[in-house]
């Protein structure tokens, strides 16, 4: 049942870090106002996005980008996963690019380099792809010396490809699911096609009653949901095909199954009578465990469904309904355009609204905590990253990137130079190559500013010109002006062979070429004047000539006799010579084709050269280029034009005007999580925005916060990761332990009890999400019952950890689904906490007290000053990105490095006091069914020598069940992949205390590593080794913390209190 109490919602800043926030400049544009799923991150630190017709790969770690291919169409959607990037466009265009380096082909070096140089002036070393036809076979594109990527283009459907989602089989996939990676292609022709990614072949096709906006498959491959322009969510299930008599068995196992419609669900706030442009929904996502399905509408209404019951007609699968930050029918800016659950351990849902905003909701408290992210590259604290072209790849002037895709010639053939002999042809190629080489120098940041500013201004100018032309056309028609004279284009004629031979003469030098070009331009200007005198009544021609001169005067550009070819920079020094304006309505980047065409294909005198907007020539020197860029960055706006902001709706049935204000929001272009779930990438018109999820090391943060509160001290928390504590503290059960298991005189018992008490007080005072729900420890055998009685007797000897037995009647009443054959021991002080909200509070309080955090700074060396640190310590860190080392001094050093604590210990202490770290991995499993449920945490009775508490049942703040952890020894702390092979063993343990568990609903979720100080003790029945927290003898100011595993989270505040006492009391 859906939760309707909106008072449960609260805004928070506890999900995404305020810093770092990064911005990577890019030009991402879509001409469709509703299709905004254009970025994807299939690999760590890698983001794919389109820029015009090019597909760009951005490496955020190296801060480099490269063009992997250029399409013949502007993509409407993009999706990358594994080894593939898939793009869709108008008229069913569908392209797959294989990212597998092993499938590259190495270009031959034996062929004639002149023969390999295309005559359409496309540099042979650059990455480009011209798809000659939508049904062509596999196409490869050069990517430098590494050879081309395997690319295949085809047609799927007949109209716009609105969305592509990729799905690949895993070890937990259903037997009914596909055995190969597939693409789910949603088309505006009302079809959803399931496509074999590697072969681009359609395996199945589903037909719907309305245009399909998005279709997604569940992680296990059993469900397929689709959203149309109508108000419904369509649910299909993968089922066995009915048997057919006298038919040979299917050779393809996938052919044994089919998709069957299970029903449709009317979405909240959607009506069949709605015929406005806001009808329909465009965003849907399954959670990584497959338990939840999130669906969002253009009105900003987000619905959460239970996938275990969504295909059942007799069940209400709607769990929760909430809204975006700007819901409603009026503005449209709160329309949800893209949505994705995080794949990592943080359990977050992110979505982008139509313009200016992204939002993140916390799944752990059932979407009640939500954080708003304002997309602003100029906001305080945003790091603007300078992106360079990939090392070893040519740096291409953005004005030259779209040669082949924008060629004005009727086919992919190159210009025919007719009767030029071979030698002259080679000379022309050589001249062309020299021209292109001069544009290989990287553009400066000022030049990039000019390009982007011009691009924005040009689009606004074109929109205004289009409106003016419509008025002019109407006026002209009223005066019976022949339509053939209004938008008549120039007739393309083949160039004179004599002129071309004269131009490529070997005797010509750059000055003579300029003189030749100047003469040509003077003749052209004289012809233009004569044509104006011969036809003074042509109101249309005079209007455009007046507009051209007016814009030139406004921009301060004088009439220049230099040729268009010279504007492509024949000068020796590389510079931004000119920027051309595209025809009105064009969304492509400025193209040099008209300039080249003016040289190769002269126009006859009788054909007037009509231009719809003037070109802006930039001849700025280095000392004034910055100022010019700042002036040009201001958007051009006609007089009396009112600025538009975001999306303006004239009325609900009219078209939508999309504008970029002088200072306002930008349109969003999608969102994508990094593979580890720790970084959220948000695409916008102006580039890629990077946000980091809050993770925190509870113990280190608590200690730093405690020490920062001392007057006269300066505290720095050094963190090797990109965010504090992205290891053990963010990969645990989030349980507030009672302190039952560790021995009366142990640090674990004392600090756990003290820390639990402090934690409950802190959470209550600062409203940190937590719950004191209690824990039941269940016994199934007489041996386990004996362990429970010993445990109960022990707790009676310590203060602050009460326990009591539960009768069978109470157990049946409170937990009817829990099995305990021998008995139950209850721990009423055990609870749960939102560890990420808790650690965000510690981080904020640390900074409030004046403490600092140094991220991406692994410690490489610690040297004592004086005798064993009597004069302090010298600490050397290395920046992970730049490799630069930094050194600073400190009076004290606290080693709270968690998994890396033994390494820090061994940097400081002599060999005889070195420690060896052992890593115990715990695999966690999610539960995707709504039953059975429990009210308490359920733990099996502890067994001597196990080294852990066994696979148990815990609940998160949202009430979701998870199982784990188990115990698996691994060699590396980076081995965080869930071991699927351990699922069967975990299920056997789970069924002992929860016999009604639905086995098919248990899925691998995440894994965490616990630092151990030895394996031998576990084998001897001493599985719970104590904390090591001490001031190392003989080393002044050095406090060492080793083996801080469970209950480290619960004990964190008490540990901080103890460390403060060791240093200053």
Nearby residues of 687 by Cβ (< 8 Å), 6 or more positions away = 23, 24, 25, 26, 27, 28, 377
With 60 as the cut, is the pLDDT of residue 867 above it? Answer: yes
Q: Give the C-alpha separation, 301 to 322, whole Å.
A: 6
Kindly tell me the burial class for residue 706, based on how many C-beta atoms sit within 10 Å of its own C-beta (0-12, 13-18, 19 or more). buried
Helices within 578-648 (DSSP H only)? 593-600, 622-632
Mean pLDDT over all residues of the chain? 74
Q: Which residue has the tokens 């953005």?
A: 398
Nearby residues of 974 by Cβ (< 8 Å), 6 or more positions away = none
Over range 856-879, report the average pLDDT. 88
Beta-carbon neighbour count of residue 256 at 10 Å?
13
What is the tens place of the pLDDT at every residue in 801-832?
A: 999 999 999 999 999 999 999 999 999 999 99
Confidence band (pLDDT; 50, 70, 90) for 527? low
The residue ranges of every structural domain in the chain are 6-106+127-387+667-693, 428-633, 775-828+918-1012
The pLDDT value given to residue 858: 85
What is the tens place of the pLDDT at every residue in 189-207?
A: 999 999 999 999 999 999 9
The pLDDT value given to residue 133: 39
With 90 as the cut, is the pLDDT of residue 16 above it? Answer: no
Angle at 647 between CA 641 and CA 651, to 5 degrees: 85
Q: Give the C-alpha separation, 645 to 539, whole Å.
A: 35
With 70 as the cut, is the pLDDT of residue 393 above it? Answer: no
The pLDDT value given to residue 451: 63
CATH top-level class of 775-828+918-1012: alpha beta
- Residue 418 CA from chain centroid, whole number: 50
The pLDDT value given to residue 498: 41
Q: Give the C-alpha separation, 195 to 191, whole Å.
A: 12
With 70 as the cut, is the pLDDT of residue 587 above it? Answer: no
Beta-carbon neighbour count of residue 586 at 10 Å?
15
Angle at 27 between CA 22 and CA 32, to 5 degrees: 115
Q: Give the C-alpha separation, 429 to 421, whole Å.
A: 12
| Nearest 10 degrees: Cα torsion 312, 313, 318, 324 | 110
| 918 upstream amide cis, omega within 30 of 0 | no
The pLDDT value given to residue 83: 86
Segment (H or E) for 81 = strand 77-81
With 70 as the cut, is the pLDDT of residue 608 above it? Answer: no
Specify whether the CB–CB gap between 233 and 296 falls below 8 A: no
The pLDDT value given to residue 618: 34
With 50 as the cut, is the pLDDT of residue 410 above it? Answer: no
The pLDDT value given to residue 994: 95
Q: Show the tokens assigned to 1018.
A: 């576990």
0.85 surpassed by pTM: no
What is the tens place of the pLDDT at every residue in 657-712?
A: 333 333 458 899 999 999 878 889 999 999 999 988 765 468 888 888 898 888 88
Over range 955-962, report the average pLDDT. 84
The pLDDT value given to residue 40: 95
The pLDDT value given to residue 683: 95
Please list, residue by residue across 802-834, b when 16 or more beta carbons sit within 10 angstroms of its beta carbon and e when fewer do: ebeebeeeebeeebeebebeebbbbbebbbbbb
CATH of domain 6-106+127-387+667-693: 2.130.10.10
Over range 411-437, report the average pLDDT. 52
The SS3 assignment for 811 reads: helix
- Of 77-86, 119-128, 765-774, the one with minimum mean pLDDT is 119-128
Confidence band (pLDDT; 50, 70, 90) for 474? low
What is the tens place of the pLDDT at every residue in 842-856?
A: 888 888 888 888 877
Beta-carbon neighbour count of residue 1061 at 10 Å?
11
- Of 150-154, 881-885, 998-1002, 1048-1052, the one with minimum mean pLDDT is 881-885
Share of the chain above pLDDT 70, in %: 65
What is the tens place of the pLDDT at every residue in 295-349?
A: 999 999 999 998 988 998 888 899 889 999 888 766 578 899 999 999 865 678 9
The SS3 assignment for 923 reads: strand
Specify whether the CB–CB gap between 322 and 5 falls below 8 A: no
Q: In what order do the strands lie in the sheet with 831-833?
A: 735-736, 831-833, 770-771
Q: Give the C-alpha separation, 981 to 672, whole Å.
A: 29
Q: Show the tokens assigned to 839.
A: 């650690």
What is the tens place of the pLDDT at every residue in 341-383?
A: 998 656 789 999 999 999 999 886 678 778 899 999 989 889 9
Q: Give the C-alpha separation, 259 to 182, whole Å.
A: 14
Question: Of the candidates 921, 922, 955, which has an alpha carbon nearest to the alpha carbon of residue 776?
Answer: 955
The pLDDT value given to residue 888: 84
Specify whether the CB–CB gap between 366 and 321 falls below 8 A: no
Q: Give the C-alpha separation, 793 to 804, whole Å.
A: 10
Q: Give the C-alpha separation, 405 to 602, whole Å.
A: 23
Share of the chain above pLDDT 90, in %: 36
What is the tens place of the pLDDT at every residue in 890-906?
A: 989 999 888 888 999 99
Strand blocks (E) in 112-211: 139-141, 149-155, 161-167, 182-187, 191-196, 201-207
Nearby residues of 15 by Cβ (< 8 Å), 6 or more positions away = 348, 360, 362, 369, 371, 693, 694, 836, 840
Confidence band (pLDDT; 50, 70, 90) for 725? low
Position with higher pLDDT, 390 vs 964: 964
Question: Of the candidates 378, 327, 325, 375, which has an alpha carbon nearest to the alpha carbon of residue 680?
Answer: 375
Over range 992-1001, report the average pLDDT. 92
């Amino acid at each position: 049942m859906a939760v309707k109490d909106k008072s449960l919602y609260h805004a928070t800043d506890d999900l995404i870090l305020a810093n770092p926030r990064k911005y990577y400049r890019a030009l991402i544009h879509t001409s469709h106002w509703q299709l905004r799923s254009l970025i994807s991150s299939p690999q760590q630190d890698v983001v794919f996005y389109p820029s015009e017709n090019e597909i760009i790969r951005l490496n955020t770690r190296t801060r480099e980008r490269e063009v992997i291919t250029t399409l013949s169409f502007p993509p409407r959607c993009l999706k990358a996963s594994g080894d593939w990037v898939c793009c869709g466009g108008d008229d069913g265009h569908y392209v797959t690019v294989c990212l597998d380096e092993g499938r590259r082909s190495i270009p031959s070096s034996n062929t004639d380099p002149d023969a390999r140089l295309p005559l359409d002036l496309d540099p042979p070393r650059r990455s480009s792809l011209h798809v000659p036809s939508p049904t062509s076979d596999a196409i490869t594109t050069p990517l430098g010396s590494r050879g081309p990527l395997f690319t295949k283009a085809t047609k799927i459907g007949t109209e716009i490809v609105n969305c592509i989602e990729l799905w690949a089989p895993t070890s937990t996939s259903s037997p009914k699911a596909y055995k190969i990676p597939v693409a789910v292609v949603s088309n505006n022709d009302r079809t959803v096609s399931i496509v074999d990614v590697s072969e681009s072949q359609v395996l199945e096709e589903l037909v719907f009653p309305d245009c399909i906006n998005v279709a997604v498959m569940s992680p296990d491959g059993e469900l397929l949901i689709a959203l149309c322009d109508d108000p419904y969510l369509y649910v299909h299930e993968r089922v066995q095909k009915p048997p057919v008599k006298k038919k040979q068995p299917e050779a393809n196992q996938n052919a044994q199954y089919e998709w069957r419609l299970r029903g449709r669900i009317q979405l909240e706030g959607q009506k069949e009578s709605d015929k406005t442009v806001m009808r329909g929904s465009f965003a849907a996502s399954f959670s990584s465990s497959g338990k939840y399905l999130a669906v969002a509408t253009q009105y900003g209404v987000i619905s959460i469904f239970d996938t275990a019951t969504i295909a059942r007609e007799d069940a209400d699968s709607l769990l929760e309904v909430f809204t975006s930050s700007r819901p409603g029918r009026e503005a449209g800016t709160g329309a949800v355009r893209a949505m994705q659950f995080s794949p990592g351990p943080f359990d977050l849902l992110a979505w982008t609204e139509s313009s200016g905003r992204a939002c993140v909701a916390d799944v752990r408290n059932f979407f009640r905590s939500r954080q708003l992210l304002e997309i602003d590259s100029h906001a305080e604290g945003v790091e603007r990253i300078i992106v360079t072209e990939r090392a070893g790849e040519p740096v291409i002037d953005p004005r030259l990137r779209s040669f082949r895709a924008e060629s004005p010639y009727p086919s992919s053939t190159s210009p025919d130079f007719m009767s030029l002999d071979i030698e002259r042809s080679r000379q022309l190629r050589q001249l062309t190559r020299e021209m292109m080489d001069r544009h290989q120098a990287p553009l400066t940041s000022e030049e990039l500013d000019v390009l982007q500013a011009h691009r924005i201004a040009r689009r606004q100018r074109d929109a205004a010109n289009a409106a003016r032309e419509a008025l002019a056309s109407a006026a002209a028609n009223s005066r019976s002006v022949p339509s053939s004279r209004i938008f008549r284009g120039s007739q393309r004629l083949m160039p004179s062979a004599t002129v071309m031979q004269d131009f490529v003469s070997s005797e010509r030098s750059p000055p003579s070429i300029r003189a030749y070009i100047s003469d040509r331009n003077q003749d052209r200007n004289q012809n233009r004047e004569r044509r104006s005198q011969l036809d003074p009544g042509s109101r249309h021609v005079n209007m455009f000539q007046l507009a051209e001169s007016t814009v030139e005067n406004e921009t301060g550009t004088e009439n220049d006799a230099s040729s268009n070819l010279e504007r492509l920079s024949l000068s020796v020094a590389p510079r931004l010579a000119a920027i051309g304006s595209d025809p009105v309505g064009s969304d492509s980047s400025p193209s040099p084709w008209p300039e080249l065409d003016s040289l190769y294909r002269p126009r006859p005198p009788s054909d007037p050269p009509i231009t719809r907007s003037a070109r802006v020539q930039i001849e700025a020197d280095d000392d004034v280029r910055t100022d010019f860029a700042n002036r040009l960055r201001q958007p051009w706006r006609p007089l009396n034009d009112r600025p538009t902001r975001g999306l303006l709706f004239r009325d609900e049935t009219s078209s939508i005007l999309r504008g970029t204000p002088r200072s306002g929001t930008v349109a969003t272009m999608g969102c994508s999580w990094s593979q580890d779930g720790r970084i959220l990438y948000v695409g916008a018109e102006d580039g890629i925005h990077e946000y980091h999820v809050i993770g925190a090391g509870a113990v280190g943060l608590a200690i730093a916060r405690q020490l920062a509160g001392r007057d006269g001290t300066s505290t720095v928390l050094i963190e090797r990761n990109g965010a504090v504590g992205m290891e053990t503290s963010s990969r645990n059960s989030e349980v507030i332990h009672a302190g039952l298991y560790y021995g009366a005189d142990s640090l674990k018992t004392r600090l756990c009890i003290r820390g639990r008490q402090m934690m409950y007080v802190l959470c209550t005072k600062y409203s940190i999400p937590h719950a004191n729900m209690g824990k039941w420890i269940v016994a199934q055998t007489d041996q386990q019952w004996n362990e429970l009685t010993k445990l109960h007797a022990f707790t009676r000897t310590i203060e602050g950890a009460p326990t009591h037995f539960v009768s069978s009647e109470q157990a049946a009443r409170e937990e009817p689904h829990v099995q305990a054959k021998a008995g139950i021991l209850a721990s009423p002080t055990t609870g749960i906490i939102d560890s990420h909200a808790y650690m965000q509070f510690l981080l904020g309080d640390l900074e409030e007290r004046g403490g600092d955090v140094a991220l991406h700074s692994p410690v490489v060396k610690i040297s004592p000053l004086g005798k064993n640190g009597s004069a302090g310590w010298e600490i050397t860190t290395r920046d992970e990105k730049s490799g630069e080392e930094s050194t600073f001094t400190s009076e004290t050093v606290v080693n709270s490095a968690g998994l890396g604590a033994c390494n820090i210990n061994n940097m400081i202490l002599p060999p005889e006091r070195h420690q060896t770290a052992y890593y115990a991995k715990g695999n966690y499993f999610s539960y995707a069914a709504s039953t059975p449920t429990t009210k308490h945490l359920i733990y099996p009775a502890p067994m001597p020598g196990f080294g852990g508490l066994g696979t148990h049942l815990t609940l998160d703040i949202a009430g979701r069940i998870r199982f784990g952890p188990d115990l698996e020894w691994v060699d590396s702390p980076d081995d965080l992949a869930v071991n699927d092979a351990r699922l069967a063993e975990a299920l056997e343990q789970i069924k002992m205390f929860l016999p009604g568990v639905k086995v098919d609903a248990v899925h691998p979720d995440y894994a965490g590593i616990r630092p151990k100080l030895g394996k031998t003790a576990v084998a001897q029945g001493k599985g719970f080794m104590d904390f090591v927290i001490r001031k190392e003898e003989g080393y002044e100011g050095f406090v060492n913390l080793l083996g801080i595993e469970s209950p480290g989270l619960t004990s964190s505040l008490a540990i901080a209190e103890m460390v403060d006492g060791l240093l200053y009391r």
